[in-house]
Copies of this chain bind each other. A is one copy, B any other.
Amino acid sequence: MAWFRNLTKVSSIKSSLKNTHPFPLLASSLTHFSTEANKHNQAPPGLGPTRPNEKPRVVVLGTGWAGCRLMKGLDTNIYDVVCVSPRNHMVFTPLLASTCVGTLEFRSVAEPIGRIQPAISREPGSYFFLSNCTAIDTDNHLVHCQTVTDGVDSLDPWKFKISYDKLVIALGAQPLTFGIHGVEEHAIFLREVYHAQEIRRKLLLNLMLSDMPGISQEEKSRLLHCVVVGGGPTGVEFSGELSDFIMKDVRQRYAHVKDKIHVTLIEANEILSSFDDRLRQYATKQLTKSGVHLVRGIVKDVKAQKLILNDGTEVPYGLLVWSTGVGPSPLVNSLELPKAPGGRIGVDEWLRAPSVQDVFSIGDCSGFLESTGKPTLPALAQVAERQGKYMANLLNKIGKAGGGRANSANGVELGEPFVYRHLGSMATIGRYKALVDLRQSKESKGIALAGFTSWFIWRSAYLTRVISWRNRFYVAINWLTTFVFGRDISRI
């Protein structure tokens, strides 16, 4: 019946259209444009201080774990939220290593800000600005920004300012290269989705190039040598994923080169140094078993096709992934705020930057001031997420008590200071194996698990933490299809 209804529909349309020209005249169809163009309404070059009839404005710098957890928890009935970041999504970093080899898809680990805090794209006073913060003027409650215009060749970036009532600095950290020459140029980090994309493209390209006629055995070995520098959780997880990819997918789909591909993990000290001894040994054994060469060494120099260790050994590579921890970014270094050990932005027990009004800092870019007597917390998603949550509650509390405006929170009772309780560490080491360390600290006793059970716990824990239902669903679907069909190897 629907079939016939459609046919009738078409006929009736035909008759209704008979007398109208199918193409409206050019002039009339482009009116929206000319009228707009004639207006020349210049928008203000920034957001000025909030007026009494507006909500107070919280400016959040950064879209990592800390900033996003904060925005998710902010009460948008109290505050307008303005977020400044060069990326419009949060990266679910613990699963990023899995995307490099196609176990998971890139979009499954990226969560758009608008889904984390819908007000940001709906409320008239809330905004997301795809920009970098270039400077902070704490005296005038101002943030200086510059737009990100990569991909639009015809547009130069421009500058603007935002006034804040409350400012939360959650700029994160950047990979440490220890001043080693060539790292920035030749190695790939594993912090952003585009890093994972680059690794995937390069890995697949090397696999294909190594099968070409006219290539020497030496060059083939080089192209198929994947080197990971840094034996922390990221390096270990990536090595595990890579060896899993090689054992399961490369053997089937790149049969010509399957015996030539190798993974080497270079670490100056012990791998997974923060984990329990037994877990570390288990990880070492599992990685070795799955073909990862563990090498203890210090990288001295990185060239385009090889790296050089401290003892002079040359290690040719086709793919070099660098994950030796993180340190403060140039912007954080440039800020004229008191610093915590390690160059982080110093904060008190309530995560406030002291000596200035209305400035807070959370996540990897901040650390407790020495005067608090508290230790610097590790640069973990877990810490950032907990601080973001705490900060949301703190700001909501301040706002409810009427201290939301700039310079108005002096009398407000802040309540409990931030206390971090470590819930345990987790790391996968490839095929259905993971480590779970549920001790509170390195010295204390607690539960340490390895193997399939902990792999299952790891997967479940992460699945329930991926923020939106959409991405939870996609991660589960990705895992299922990888299990059933293998990984995707199209190089797009």
A11 at the binding interface (Cβ < 8 Å): yes
Contact A252 B121 (CB under 8 A): yes
Collect the chain B residues with CB atoms within 8 Å of residue A309's CB.
26
Contact B450 A293 (CB under 8 A): no
A179 at the binding interface (Cβ < 8 Å): no
Contact B492 A313 (CB under 8 A): no
Of the candidate stretches A51-59, A281-289, A340-348, A361-369, the one touching chain B is A281-289
- Tell me the smallest distance from the CB of A223 to a CB of chain B, in Å: 8
Contact B37 A218 (CB under 8 A): yes
Q: Which of A119-156 contact B (CB under 8 A)?
A: 121-122, 124, 127-131, 147, 149-155
- Tell me the smallest distance from the CB of A194 to a CB of chain B, in Å: 7
Q: Which of A234-292 contact B (CB under 8 A)?
A: 252-256, 260, 262, 264, 270, 277-282, 284-285, 288
A114-B489, A152-B209, A256-B121 as given contacts; A284 in contact with B22, CB under 8 Å:
yes
- Tell me the smallest distance from the CB of A72 to a CB of chain B, in Å: 16
A491's contact among B24, B44, B89, B484, by CB below 8 Å, is which?
B89
Contact A450 B9 (CB under 8 A): yes
- Tell me the smallest distance from the CB of A45 to a CB of chain B, in Å: 4
Interface residues on chain A, size class: 35 or more
Contact B206 A152 (CB under 8 A): yes
Of the candidate stretches A167-175, A408-416, A417-425, A470-478, the one touching chain B is A470-478
Encoded as 1 (CB less than 8 Å from any B CB) or 0, chain A from 91 to 134 comes to: 00000000000000111001110100000011010011111000
A-B contact pairs, 18 of them (CB 8 A): A3-B453, A6-B452, A7-B448, A13-B281, A24-B295, A26-B311, A29-B293, A30-B295, A36-B217, A40-B217, A43-B215, A106-B492, A107-B488, A121-B252, A128-B211, A147-B209, A468-B485, A470-B484
Binding site for B on A (CB under 8 A): 2-3, 5-7, 9-11, 13-14, 16-17, 22-24, 26, 29-30, 32-33, 36-37, 39-47, 87-89, 105-107, 110-112, 114, 121-122, 124, 127-131, 147, 149-155, 158-162, 186, 193-194, 197-198, 201-202, 204-206, 208-209, 211-218, 220-221, 225, 252-256, 260, 262, 264, 270, 277-282, 284-285, 288, 293-297, 304-305, 309, 311, 313, 315-316, 447-454, 468-470, 473-474, 477, 481, 484-485, 488-492
